[in-house]
Amino acid sequence: MKYAVVTGTSKGLGASIAKLFMQASYHVIGLSRSENNELQAADFPGSYTHYAVDLADINATENTFRQIIANLEKEELESLLLVQNAALVSPIEQAGKQDMSQLTDHVHVNLLSPMAVTNVWLDAWRDTDIPLVIANVTSGAAHRSVYGWNAYCSTKAGLDRYTETVALEQEELGTGHKVILFDPSIMDTDMQGEIRSADESQFIDVERFRSYKQENALRDTDTVANVLVERLIQPESIENGAYYSVKDVL
């Protein structure tokens, strides 16, 4: 059976990724704090199973993934994909003015959770011959400094370097596993709405992001998700350690 595990499936890009996997006959395991009723009720060739978890809680995240692994170990696995999509953009604020609880959750969801999950995931399948593909969703913010996005830029940069390093390790170990980055660029999501609602004193580029919406420059999440899913369902075409951007296709 073909399985895809996707984080952040309650809405946005994660929901689109899950839907397209289901249409491609994958059995999707989705993780987010709240369920996605549309995915639960969808009539697609593939199925959807939801696990409710707050990815800011690292212990709960680890325990949830161990439950998922225990269930998957009972299946005849033909393909096993992991897409780590969940992310936070808040706090959008200068250093020195941030709420510590928000900042902690941000680092946990954007960086520590993907690291912890990858560690558990690779260990769980160590003694099997199942070829693993892990796709971590990144951002152009990983490569530049943006006023008010000190947390977001830093965690995405950290995720990039972590992904590249794990890919290097898998290559040296000869596991055959592939670990990649996917940059979806700007999309019409709730996260973009959150960015547009920021005050200019917090985020000096806010007017530029508001103009993206006004000028219909934001891509639909289904369109972006299709670029990633089409790549992932053809694992032979994936280069370990590669950085794939939607801009290279659309």
User: What is the model's pLDDT at position 195?
Assistant: 96
Model confidence over 85-99: pLDDT tens digits? 999 999 999 999 999
Alpha-carbon distances of 106 from 18, 156, 182, 229, rounded to whole Å? 23, 11, 19, 26
- By three-state DSSP, how is residue 201 classified? coil
Model confidence over 152-180: pLDDT tens digits? 999 999 999 999 999 999 999 999 999 99
Nearest to 122 by CA among 156, 154, 163: 163
User: What is the model's pLDDT at position 32?
Assistant: 98
Model confidence over 33-69: pLDDT tens digits? 999 999 999 999 999 999 999 999 999 999 999 999 9
Q: Are 3 and 68 in contact (CB under 8 A)?
A: no
Average confidence score pLDDT of the chain: 97
User: What is the model's pLDDT at position 66?
Assistant: 99
Residue spans per domain, the chain: 2-186+220-248
Report the Cα 224 to chain-centroid distance in Å. 13
Is pTM beyond 0.85 here?
Answer: yes
User: What is the model's pLDDT at position 246?
Assistant: 97
- By three-state DSSP, how is residue 178 classified? strand
Single-letter amino acid, residue 16: S
CA distance 63 to 51: 11
Q: Tell the burial category of 248 from Cβ atoms under 10 Å away from its Cβ (0-12, 13-18, 19+).
A: exposed
CA distance 146 to 242: 24
Q: Are 160 and 138 in contact (CB under 8 A)?
A: yes
Model confidence over 187-215: pLDDT tens digits? 999 999 999 999 999 999 999 999 999 99
At 143, phi and psi to the nearest 5? -110, 5
Confidence of residue 250 (pLDDT cuts 50, 70, 90): confident
Q: What is the CATH number of domain 2-186+220-248?
A: 3.40.50.720
Tokens for 77, please give them: 């696995």
How many other CB atoms sit within 10 Å of the CB of residue 37?
10
Peptide bond into 131 cis (omega under 30): no
What is the percentage of the chain residues whose pLDDT exceeds 70? 100
Q: Are 30 and 9 in contact (CB under 8 A)?
A: yes
Q: Please state the rounded mean pLDDT for residues 230-243.
A: 97
